[in-house]
Structure 1
Amino acid sequence: MRMMILLNKDGGTIRGMEPEEFGDHVANALAGGEATVRLVHGPELIDTLNEAEADEEIGTIVAGGGDGTISAAAAACFRSGKVLGVLPLGTMNLYARSIGLPMDPHDAVDALAAASPKSVDIGTVNGRPFIHQVSIGLHEQLVSLRSRLDTSTRFRKMTSTLKVLGDVIKDPPRFPVETVIGDSRRQSVVSAVSVSNNLFGSSPVPFAPVIDAGVLGVYLAKAISSPRVLRMTIDAARGALMANPYVDVQSASSVTLRFPKRRRRRHAAIDGEIVDLEEELECICHAGGLRILAPASPEQGA
C-alpha cells in the first residue's frame, strides 16, 4: 500500500517554509522517498482527498495543515478505512495536540516516523464526520466574525479573536435547544451548545487529551447576560471552564439537538467550518472508527 502526503500550502505554519523541500523531507522520513507528495491550496483540497479516498492502492494519507485540513482528511480516512497521519502546519493544531504530537513540524515528522496505527474515536453530525467539535451560538459567532479578519498566523488569529470577542460578549446569542440523550429529554435556553469528540481537558486551549474513550462531550452554556459571558470567557482563558456554574457538561455516546425556534440564518461551526444550521442534529461517537498514526511517546499537553 502506498502513502500519500498532502500538504495544504495555505496552512499558517507552512507559509514560512519551503513546501516542496519539506514535502520531500516528509516522504524520505516516512516512506524512504517512496510516497506521493501533493502540494495544494485550500480550494484544491477536497478534490485531492476524494481522489486519494477512491485510490485503493493508497493505504495512508498524511495530511499537513490546520484543523480544517486535518478534519477533511480524517473524514476521507473514516469513509475509506485508510490510516491518517497528522502534521501540525496550522495555527492552533488542536487535533495534533490531542494525538500528542510535537508542535514543531520537523519534530512531528520524527514522531510519525516512529508511530504505529491506532484506533481512535470520530464523531458524525447528521452523517458528516468531525474530529473536534460542533458548536452553535457563542463559539460559532466568534468563528464567523473572525473569518472576516486576517488569521494567517497564530498571532494574527489570537489578535483577531480578541477583536471580535468584545462584540460577542456585548450581545450574546440566546436561543432554545432540546437535548436528547437516551431516554432523557431536556429543554434549555442557552447562549451556546457544543458537542466535542471526547471530553475537553483543563487546558485553556480546547482539545481532548483522550480521544479513544468512546464518548462525546456535550456542553450547554447558560451565560445569557454579558457579565456571565465575560466570566465564562475568563474561566476558559485560565483552563477552569468546566468549573463555571453556567456551563453544564455531560458525556454520551450519542446526542440529538433540536432547535424549535431556529432562525433562517442561524449557523453552526463544524471543526471550524461555518455551515447552515439544520433543525435537528444527530451526533454519534464512532468508537474506534478512525485509524491514525499515533506517536510512540505522546507529548500530552503539547
Structure 2
Amino acid sequence: MTKSRRTTLILNRDGGTSRGMNSQQFGELVAKQLESRGDHCTVQMISGPDLINVLKHAADDDTTGTIIAAGGDGTVSATAAACFRSGKTLGVLPLGTMNLFARSLQMPLDPIAAVEALTTATARDLDIATANGRPFIHQYSVGLHSRLVNLRAGMNTSTKLRKLASTLAALGKVVLDPPRFDLDLTVGSGRERQTLSAISVSNNVLTGLPAPYAEKLDGGVLGISCSAALDTASVIRMTMDAARGKLEENPDVDVRTETRVTLNFASPPKSLKAAIDGEIISLENEVELNLHAGALRTLVPAQHPA
C-alpha cells in the first residue's frame, strides 16, 4: 500500500454479510491491522444512499492514496469507478452475496481471512471497461440478464436465501417470456445486424453460472456474448449450458473477444433496459464500450497467480 498517503476504508452496513456482523468492530479490526504495518486508515461507516457522496469526497482528497470497498458488488463497482477516475488504488473486502470481483481477485470470502489477505496484498494494474464513458468492472447487458435484474429489484432480497429465491422466481418469468430486439453490432470496421434475446459485454471473459466472474482481470479484452432470439425451450437449454460452464458450446450463443464494440439499437421496445454491474439504467440508442487495459490499480492477494 502507499506509505505516504492515507487509506480510506468505506464500510457499507447494508452489504449481505454486514447485516450479520458488528460493523463498528469489524471496521476497527481492519484499521488496526492496516495501521500495524504503518498505513494510516480512516474508516467511513455508511449506508447505501451515502455511498456516492462519501466516494466523491475520498476521490477528491489528495491525501488519500487507497480506497478500500467493504461491501457487496455494488459498493465495489462504485469504488472501482471512483478509483479509475481519480487514479487511486482499489482495495476489496467482500461483504456481499455474490462477491464477483473478489472472486476474480481470489480474495478469501471469509471477512476475517480477507482482512489478513489484504494486509499482505500487492498493487497490480488490472483492466476496467466503460460504456459511453461509465466505468464497469463486471458487465454491461441488455435482454435476458437485464430483465432478470429488473424483475428481481422489485422482490425481497434482504438475505442470501431470499435473494436466491427471488433470482429463481425472476428467471422463471424471463424464461416464459424472453425479450427480443434488433441490434447493429460494430466491431472494428465491420457492422452486423442481429435479432437477439440478449447481449452481454464483460470486463474480460466471464465463467458460467452460478457465479459468473472473470478468472483473469488483465487479459485486455471485452467478452462479448450474443444470444439469438430464443423461445422458452432454447432459454432453458442455454441456462443449463451456462450452469455447466459450457455456454460457448450452445449453438444459439456467439462468444467473441474484442477491445472495443459499438451497439446500435434500432427502435428497441420501451420496456427494454440495460444493466451495468447489476444496476438497471435506461437504454441508450447507441452505446460504445471500451476496454481500458491496466487502468485500475488494485490490491491483489499475494497468492494470486501472475
Q: TM-score range by the shorter chain?
A: over 0.9
Q: Is 1:99 aligned to residue 105 of structure 2?
A: yes
DSSP 3-state at the match of 1:287? strand
Q: Is 1:135 aligned to residue 148 of structure 2?
A: no
CA distance in 2, matches of 1:11, 1:130: 19
> 2:208 touches 2:243 (CA, 8 Å); kept in 1?
no
- In structure 1, runs of 5+ residues without a counterpart are none
> 1:5 touches 1:61 (CA, 8 Å); kept in 2?
yes
Per-residue deviation, residues 181-234 of structure 1 (Å, max 9, x unmatched): 101111110100010000113564210000001100001011511100011111
Per-residue deviation, residues 265-285 of structure 1 (Å, max 9, x unmatched): 421000000000000110000
Match of 1:20 in 2: 24
> 1:28 touches 1:34 (CA, 8 Å); kept in 2?
no
- Give the counterpart of 2:54 among 44, 48, 55: 48
DSSP 3-state at the match of 2:156? coil
> 1:9 touches 1:15 (CA, 8 Å); kept in 2?
yes
Shift of 1:19: 0.2
Which residue type is aligned with residue 198 of structure 1? N
CA distance in 1, matches of 2:127, 2:208: 20
> 1:100 touches 1:299 (CA, 8 Å); kept in 2?
no
Match of 1:256 in 2: 262
Match of 1:11 in 2: 15
Matches within 5 A, 1:188-199: 188-199=194-205
TM-score when normalising by structure 1 = 0.97
Give % identity: 52
Shift of 1:154: 2.2
CA distance in 2, matches of 1:223, 1:131: 27
Match of 1:245 in 2: 251
Per-residue deviation, residues 113-157 of structure 1 (Å, max 9, x unmatched): 110110000000000000000000000000011111111222221
CA distance in 1, matches of 2:277, 2:271: 19
Q: Is 1:290 aligned to residue 287 of structure 2?
A: no
- Give the counterpart of 2:34 among 14, 25, 30: 30
CA distance in 2, matches of 1:202, 1:41: 31
DSSP 3-state at the match of 1:191? strand
> 1:119 touches 1:288 (CA, 8 Å); kept in 2?
yes
CA distance in 2, matches of 1:156, 1:277: 28
Which residue type is aligned with residue 193 of structure 2? Q
Pairwise CA RMSD: 1.4
CA distance in 2, matches of 1:212, 1:63: 20
Q: Find runs of 4+ consecutive structure 1 residues off by over 6 angstroms.
A: none
Number of residue pairs matched by the alignment: 300
- In structure 2, runs of 5+ residues without a counterpart are none
Match of 1:2 in 2: 6
Shift of 1:299: 8.6
> 1:202 touches 1:242 (CA, 8 Å); kept in 2?
no
CA distance in 2, matches of 1:186, 1:142: 26
Matches within 5 A, 1:19-168: 19-32=23-36, 34-168=40-174
